[in-house]
Amino acid sequence: MSSDRRIGTETSATRAALVAATEEIMLEDGYAAVTSRRVAARAGLKAQLVHYYFRTMDDLFLALHRTRVEQGLERQAQALAADQPLWALWDTSRDPRGTALTMEFIALANHRKVIRAEIASSAERFRAAQLEGLEVVLERYGVDPDDWTPIVCTVLMSSISRFLVMEFETLGMSSGHAETVAFVERYIRKVEGERRCPAQ
Amino acid sequence: MSSDRRIGTETSATRAALVAATEEIMLEDGYAAVTSRRVAARAGLKAQLVHYYFRTMDDLFLALHRTRVEQGLERQAQALAADQPLWALWDTSRDPRGTALTMEFIALANHRKVIRAEIASSAERFRAAQLEGLEVVLERYGVDPDDWTPIVCTVLMSSISRFLVMEFETLGMSSGHAETVAFVERYIRKVEGERRCPAQ
DNA sequence: GTCTATACTTCGATAGAC
DNA sequence: GTCTATCGAAGTATAGAC
């Protein structure tokens, strides 16, 4: 049986280097460019080490995904607890690196059905946490729930920010982006007032 | 020199079968699952035939992309010329198959830099054509251009529809989707009246 | 014009050396 | 605990047979 094979420790610096290299390659050349050989080369290591620290390539993807989900949820919680939660949330969701990686993971989910469940479940966690936070915030601001419900705000903000980042980062496209950002920010300003925190 | 190699005719039924198989695999398992062997197997052909009809795998992707762009532009033009252009456009952009394929091509653009330019340019063409159409439509409906500009409408509609399709088709996720769709359709109804054409 | 035999490269993974 | 030698499978692509 193959699962008897020994595996490296979770605290190993080599292991962390492999995970970091995986993220870089995904961002630069897409998930399909993540091969054991390329990851190792990027980290300055031998290819076989990838399979020492991760039983399969799926395990490597999952390791990266988990650390990013932890960080992302933490960051989203901070945004929701900020002085101006709407501005903070908008800034967070427009972060190019995080969003681009998320898009790659979604594309990966269509390719590796095994890890699709994990990606889907983390997406649900992000949405649920954001919804919970927005419910409090919008109520505090006295936003009419018959018009802008928290769930609609969540979905709209995610859609728009992710789409813009994807078009710009992946295709180098920007037509209509400035106008759309201005449009969204006009709404945020109407509810939360002028931005006080500097844009991230 | 390799480019001397002969290539099959563009009208060949075998060639068309290979392109069709490529689309199916992309939708089911992502662009990275498109290999010469899998494409051929799906079409019930030998793997080497892929390289007879297409010099490289990039050529195969481009062939599929071009036919889909043609069809998509045609379909978008029909929507803009319809009795209720906003409803028609919204329906068109929510088509799961077309959108899912577009998302795969965008992910592919991050992986195959060679064909990225072609994908980006077609995205610009879609946007420009939709913008041109919406300018006429919104003006006809007397929409205040200080509020909803055509370019913002275009970007918003694309963002929302693509994002929803992506979440649902790829991740099987649907929280907040119905509410968001209802939200968008309320705006469309306000401008264009009750939907008369049946949803596609 | 259409297809196949074949070459060569790269991949994921494992067993075993240090 | 850490790393390497090596294998079998799968990938792209070409030259040549029909």
For the domain that residue B32 is a member of, what is the CATH number?
A: 1.10.10.60
Q: Is residue B199 domain-resident?
A: no
- Residue B65 and residue B49 share a domain: no
Asked whether the beta carbons of residue A32 and residue B29 sit closer than 8 angstroms, the reply is: no
Of A107, A159, A179, the CB nearest to B163: A159
- Domain limits at A39? 1-55
The span from the CA of B160 to the CA of B94, in Å, is 9
What pLDDT is stored for residue A58 in this prediction?
98
**d(C-alpha B54, C-alpha A19), whole Å:** 36
A35 Cβ nearer than 7 Å to chain D strand: no
> Does some domain include residue A124?
yes
Give the residue-averaged pLDDT of A187-200: 91
Shared-domain flag, residues B101 and B160: yes
Does B149 lie in the same domain as B70? Answer: yes
Q: What is the DSSP string of A28-50?
A: HH-GGG--HHHHHHHHTS-THHH
Report the distance separating Cα A187 and Cα B7, nearest Å. 56
Eight-state DSSP code of residue B84: S
- End residue of a domain, out of A40, A55, A70: A55
Q: Is residue B114 part of a domain?
A: yes
Report how far residue B60's alpha carbon sits from residue B20's, in angstroms, rounded to the nearest whole number.
10
Is A200 within the bounds of a domain? no
Give contacts of B32 with chain A, Cβ < 8 Å.
31-32, 111
- Same domain? For A66 and A50 the reply is no
Q: What average pLDDT is seen over chain B?
A: 95
Identify the pLDDT of residue B102.
98
Q: Are B143 and B191 in contact (CB under 8 A)?
A: yes
A108 and A188 belong to one structural domain: yes
Q: Is residue B200 part of a domain?
A: no
Same domain, A34 and A63: no
The 10 Å Cβ neighbour count of residue A105 is 24
Same domain, B88 and B187: yes
Residue at a domain's end among B36, B55, B74: B55
Token digits of residue A136: 């409090």
pLDDT at B1: 43
**Radius of gyration from C-alpha coordinates of chain B:** 19
Residue A197 lies in a domain: no
Residues B119 and B81 in one domain: yes
Instruction: Give the C-alpha separation, B194 to B189, whole Å.
Output: 5
DSSP three-state, residue B198 = coil
Mean of all residue pLDDT scores within chain A: 95
For the stretch B21-58, pLDDT in tens is 999 999 999 999 999 999 999 999 999 999 999 999 99
Same domain, B29 and B64: no
Number of domain units in chain B: 2
Q: Answer yes or no: do B65 and B38 share one domain.
A: no
Predicted pLDDT at A96: 96
Q: Which nucleotide is nearest to A49 (CA to C1')?
A: D3
Distance CA A34, CA B185 (A): 41
Report CA(B58)–C1'(D4) in Å, whole number: 36
A15, A39, A55 — which closes off a domain? A55
Whether the beta carbon of A52 falls within 7 A of nucleic chain D: the reply is yes
Phi, psi at A75, each rounded to 5°: -65, -40
For A4-42, write each residue's pLDDT tens digit. 688 899 999 999 999 999 999 999 999 999 999 999 999
Question: Which residue has the least CA–C1' distance to nucleotide C2?
Answer: B8
- Say if B14 falls within a structural domain: yes
Query: Is residue B117 predicted with pLDDT exceeding 90?
Result: yes
**Long-range interactions of B2-8: CB distance < 8 A, separation 24+:** B2/B55, B3/B55, B5/B55, B6/B52, B7/B52, B7/B53, B7/B54, B7/B55, B8/B52, B8/B53
Q: Do A73 and A31 reside in the same domain of the chain?
A: no
Name the pTM for this structure: 0.96
Same domain, B127 and B61: yes
Cα(B13)–Cα(B192) distance, integer angstroms:
44
CB contact under 8 A, A110 and B104: yes
Name residues whose C-beta falls within 8 Å of residue A177's C-beta, 6 or more positions apart in sequence: A164, A167, A168, B155
Chain B window 131-150: which residues touch A at a Cβ cutoff of 8 Å?
131, 149
Angstrom CA distances, A35 to A60, B79, B143, stand at 10, 43, 52
